[in-house]
């Protein structure tokens, strides 16, 4: 097969989308025409979900109705809770548990087997259920594995605050709720990243929305995608435990041929705009707690890597210290990424269904040809 080989499909255009735009040279991220800085500062996660799914921001009445619908879908069926308990007892990893639980949720959705998988209105109802319940199943699993009881959702709280409430058993203060809501906004969508593309490939076969989201969760679990944020925090803890200067620790790590987590990006050639926003939040949380250690350590590493390697931090770098200062367990960072990105995955699947074509690339064959087949006794 002739043609230029593009490993990893780097730079290859495979579709058109109205959902998100990335300018890697300018460090710009846009959702449906709106800059991420403006959305992170002034829009809630619910507003961003509506924007991604409908292509426009909601009015006050539309937002209230949409938020109420999402909140009403947060509760979990007993069968799903039983699966969560079993996974916790088996010490399943959080991302694998979330993948299994989202798949199990389809058994309790009356529209899961709707004949026309491309029906937009039916899919919007599925979308609300999936997005509303993903934080609930993650919180349930996290509580079960530490021996705590399930906390019923509170419909008076917004999407972000309710997850923290269900996870910790107490209503978060305003600072934590706003910080987490902003983090969800920042992670909601990001072009044709690996997990989004995985969801699109699955849906292009005319598989259903639950299957597409389950595929995306599996893709996000890899350390080169969603798993990077947890690796950043483990690195920062290793630096802290070493009692070394952060730049000395990083220098030693690089000399050993190790990769410093949280730097570089396939799309951005400058600092990830989401890293700028979360960096400021990490600083604010440190100031509020009276402990600037994690933020100052991160800044020192960022400056060193920038000077020595010419690399800028990505969103994972500062989301790590932000989540850690919120008291969130490290191995829940990637599942939380999935909880947020589900909104973007669903938006791209809805867009795929609108003008679907099976995604089926080709590979250049490099093996042998014309071999004679010996009998089994001659091999």
At a CB cut-off of 8 Å and minimum separation 6, what does 44 contact? 158, 159, 160, 181, 185
Band of residue 208 on the pLDDT scale cut at 50, 70, 90 = very high
Which of 129, 130, 131, 149 lies closest to 139 in space, CA to CA?
Answer: 149
Say which of 265, 331, 348, 355 is annotated catalytic: 265
- Each residue's pLDDT tens digit, 148-190: 999 999 999 999 999 999 999 999 999 999 999 999 999 999 9
- How far apart CA 38 and CA 31 sit, in angstroms, is 10
**Whether residue 316 lies in the annotated active site:** yes
Q: Which residues contact 359 (CB under 8 A, 6 or more apart)?
A: 14, 200, 201, 204
Residue 56 binned pLDDT confidence (cut-offs 50, 70, 90): very high
Q: How far apart are CA 96 and CA 202, in angstroms?
A: 18
Please report, rounded to a whole number, the percentage of residues in the chain having pLDDT higher than 70: 99
Helix (H) or strand (E) holding 109: none
pLDDT at 1: 54
Note the pLDDT tens digit of each residue in 289-303.
888 999 999 999 999
The vertex-268 CA angle with 94 and 3, nearest 5°, equals 95
Average pLDDT over residues 209-234: 90
The tokens of 321 are what? 């210290």
Would residue 348 show up in a list of annotated catalytic residues for this protein? no
- Catalytic residue, chosen from 316, 331, 348, 377, is 316
Alpha helices in 146-227 (DSSP H): 159-168, 174-187, 194-204, 209-220
**In the prediction, which pLDDT does 2 show?**
59
Contacts of 255 (CB under 8 A, 6+ apart): none
Answer yes or no: pTM beyond 0.75.
Answer: yes
pLDDT grade for 272, boundaries at 50, 70 and 90: confident
Calculate what percentage of the chain has a pLDDT beyond 90.
75
Instruction: With a cut of 90, say whether residue 223 has pLDDT above it.
Output: no
Across residues 224-251, what is the average pLDDT? Answer: 89
């Amino acid at each position: 097969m002739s043609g230029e080989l593009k490993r990893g499909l780097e730079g290859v255009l495979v579709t058109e989308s109205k959902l998100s735009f990335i300018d890697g040279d300018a460090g710009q991220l846009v959702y449906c025409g709106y800059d991420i800085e403006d959305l992170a500062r002034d829009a809630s996660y619910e507003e961003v979900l509506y924007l991604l799914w409908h292509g426009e921001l909601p009015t006050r009445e539309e937002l209230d109705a949409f938020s109420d619908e999402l909140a009403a879908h947060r509760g979990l069926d007993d069968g799903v809770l039983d699966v969560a308990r079993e996974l916790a007892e088996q010490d399943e990893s959080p991302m694998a548990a979330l993948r299994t639980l989202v798949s199990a949720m389809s058994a309790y959705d009356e529209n899961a087997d709707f004949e026309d998988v491309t029906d937009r209105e039916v899919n919007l109802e599925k979308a609300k259920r999936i997005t509303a319940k993903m934080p609930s199943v993650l919180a349930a699993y996290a509580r079960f594995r530490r021996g705590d009881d399930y906390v019923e959702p509170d419909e008076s709280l917004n999407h972000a605050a309710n997850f923290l409430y269900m996870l910790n058993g107490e209503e978060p203060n305003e600072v934590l709720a706003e910080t987490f809501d902003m983090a969800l906004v920042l992670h909601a969508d990001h072009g044709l990243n690996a997990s989004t593309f995985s969801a699109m490939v699955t849906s292009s076969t005319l598989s259903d929305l639950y299957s597409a989201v389950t595929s995306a969760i599996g893709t996000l679990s890899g350390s080169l995608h969603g798993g990077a944020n947890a690796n950043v925090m483990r690195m920062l803890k290793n630096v802290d435990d070493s009692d070394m200067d952060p730049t000395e620790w990083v220098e030693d790590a690089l000399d050993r041929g190790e990769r410093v987590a949280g730097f570089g990006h396939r799309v951005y050639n400058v600092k990830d705009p989401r890293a700028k926003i979360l960096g400021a939040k990490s600083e604010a949380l440190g100031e509020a707690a009276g402990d600037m250690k994690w933020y100052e350590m991160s800044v020192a590493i960022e400056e060193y890597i920038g000077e020595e390697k010419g690399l800028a931090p990505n969103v994972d770098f500062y989301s790590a210290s932000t989540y850690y200062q919120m008291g969130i367990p490290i191995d829940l960072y990637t599942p939380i990424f999935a909880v947020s990105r589900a909104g973007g995955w669903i938006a791209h699947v809805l867009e795929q269904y609108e003008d679907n074509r099976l995604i089926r690339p080709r590979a250049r064959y490099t093996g042998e040809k014309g071999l004679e087949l010996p009998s089994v006794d001659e091999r």
